[in-house]
A and B are shown apart, each in its own frame.
Chain A
């Protein structure tokens, strides 16, 4: 069955029209993809998430963008003053995209120097031998975006990459973002995935690679709000050089299959990672976050906070791993995962892991699973607030701290009402949490 799907993907790759200079990379990707053993429920990394939605479908490559621009697309884009690249069904849509600085380019438009940068950095941070769907991404590599900032360069505006699916059919879309920050460079990036069609049954496989140079700083945001029927397999790979900073934020609803991996390596001492995540599956949605933070060198710090509110008969998985290598003395690493189940059928499986081979470190992790606090509910109803509104306010309160931590003000303002509406579908229920 499974190996069959691996073959199917190779057949799809053969149908693609390809940029010639990417051929070698694709071939490497295809051999890595085929050498992977297809995961089963016994494969630890896929213990709680089934790949059947991928296996049980005859996939086709996504089409070129529709002629008519999706009307709703514009209104769903994040209102943010940014350099914007919009992909519709995997194809770059020039009309929806903005003017770009020289440092930001789609693979198709890359000049010779930029092609060299891409070839040099592609799959250097992401390991396609260990990440199954990264190998698939390279196998199908065609479209992609490069952000390359040279030494001490700083972008005026954030970079906003949006991926829109607007069709209700089983198409695979491959998304790839490569960020290379030379030493001292600074950037803010927002990646945003959504469907304009509720019945979108498409599958996006999205890989982001970030090479953050010495003393460079990257703020990265990944917003996953596809339709319930959509499939998403994605990963963010980050390598941090000396004193580099990565500040990550991720938000996802659930869908038939949604699996997002973060793999971050501290490769230079003094680097700092802050990673915050929110998952909000409801109805029958599934969402699965796997994070792995490797401390390879001394004196680095990690703070990771993930919170989930799981409603209806949704199911969430969080697997957070912190791995301290033998030389990574003086590491400070903390991880916290808290989950709120708001219905009898909701489920969560959480697995915070510490793997520590150095002794002079301070590491801690905590995980909790609970429901809305009865005391708090009563307290609020005793203040005249309806129980329904109190539930919405409490659910929002559970993740609010992480939303408040988003530094891009425009993104924060955009997020608040959308998150609120995932808890309460009417304005009546959300009006006290959506404010300026």
Chain B
């Protein structure tokens, strides 16, 4: 699904990711943890092609394609989805308009017929129900006036509708109370399938109680300093990150 080899990336000429390698196979869930400033969010941004985040060396292979060579929208149409840490508000553009345009773009890119407005509405309603958002949110401006939790659930709803093959959740759990967290996890778990992978970037082990990862990686100082299974997350929770940083130093 995704193969990152020796990736270096910088933001404003400052190197944030240093020689990072990671292999994600279809159906796997990888959790990426690490202290603040380790480069966790940078990774998601580089993968999705956010302007200003520049890969300076290394390669990223996504389903046999050279990811770094693709514009952000093409990456999305190929099935890469980033759930933002801080989803932006877009007053005036309704959620529904955005979603229909997004789903149409992905489907026509992959040679599927576009959905009729009626079918799409049906799907959207189901998705909003699945993340516990009232249908009125579909008509509102994108994230406009949404609470923090509503924004995160809105991201998951979009993820469901776009049916991506690789989902990157960038600190989707931050700022969520436990109920909202469960809603998010339920949405993610419902989407698990043998040909869909997840990269879950999080600061807290709590999320991983609900979304059980196959692998846990610790990111510090721009590289993966330790990998393991879900028990690593528990260890981190108990001991914090500093022991790892010391070990690396």
- Interface on A for B, CB 8 Å cutoff? 373-376, 378-387, 389, 393-394, 396-401, 432-433, 435-436
Cross-chain contact A382 with B48 (CB below 8 angstroms)? yes
- Whether B176 sits at the interface, judged by CB under 8 Å, is no
Whether B71 and A381, one on each chain, are in contact in the complex, defined by CB atoms closer than 8 angstroms, is yes
Using known A-B contacts A376-B90, A379-B84, A400-B92, determine if residue A393 contacts B72 with beta carbons closer than 8 Å: no
CA distance A84 to B123 in the complex (A): 43
Q: For residue B163, give the distance in angstroms from its CB to the closest CB of chain A.
A: 12
Contact of A383 with B76 in the complex, beta carbons under 8 Å: yes
A383 lies within 8 A of B90 (CB): no
Which of chain A's residues has its CB closest to B104's CB? A432
Q: Which of A373, A376, A384 contacts B105 (CB 8 A)?
A: A384
- Chain B interface residues toward A at CB < 8 A: 48-51, 71-77, 82, 84, 87-88, 90-93, 97-98, 100-102, 104-106, 109, 117, 141-142, 158, 162
Taking A383-B101, A383-B102 as known contacts, 4 extra A-B pairs with beta carbons closer than 8 A to each other, sorted by chain A number, are A380-B101, A384-B105, A384-B162, A393-B98
Query: Dominant SS at the B interface?
Result: helix
Residues of A within 8 A of B50 (CB): 378, 382
- Residues A397 and B90 in contact, CB atoms below 8 Å apart: yes
- Whether A387 contacts B73 in the complex (CB less than 8 A), given A373-B88, A394-B90, A401-B92, comes out as yes
**Cα–Cα, bound, A382→B92 (Å):** 19
Q: For A397, give its contact among B92, B104, B106, B158 (CB under 8 Å).
A: B92
Q: Could you tell me the distance between the alpha carbons of A233 and B72 in the complex, rounded to whole angstroms?
A: 46
Contact yes or no, B117 A432, CB < 8 A: no
Can you list 27 A-B contacts with CB-CB less than 8 angstroms, sorted by A residue number? A373-B90, A375-B88, A376-B88, A378-B50, A378-B72, A379-B84, A379-B87, A380-B90, A381-B73, A381-B76, A382-B75, A382-B82, A383-B98, A383-B158, A384-B77, A384-B162, A385-B102, A385-B105, A386-B73, A387-B73, A393-B98, A394-B92, A397-B91, A397-B93, A400-B92, A401-B91, A435-B97
- Partner of B162 from the list A379, A383, A389 (CB cut-off 8 Å) is A383
Contacts of B102 in A (CB 8 A): 380, 383-385
Q: How far is the CA of A387 from the CA of B51 in the complex (A)?
A: 13
Given contacts A384-B77, A385-B102, A397-B141, is CB(A379)–CB(B88) below 8 Å?
A: yes
Measured CA separation A29–B245 after assembly (Å)? 86
* Docked-complex contact A382 and B72, CB < 8 angstroms: yes
CB–CB B101/A382 < 8 A: no
Contact B100 A432 (CB under 8 A): yes
**Contact A379:B158 (CB < 8 A) given known A374-B51, A385-B101, A433-B97:** no
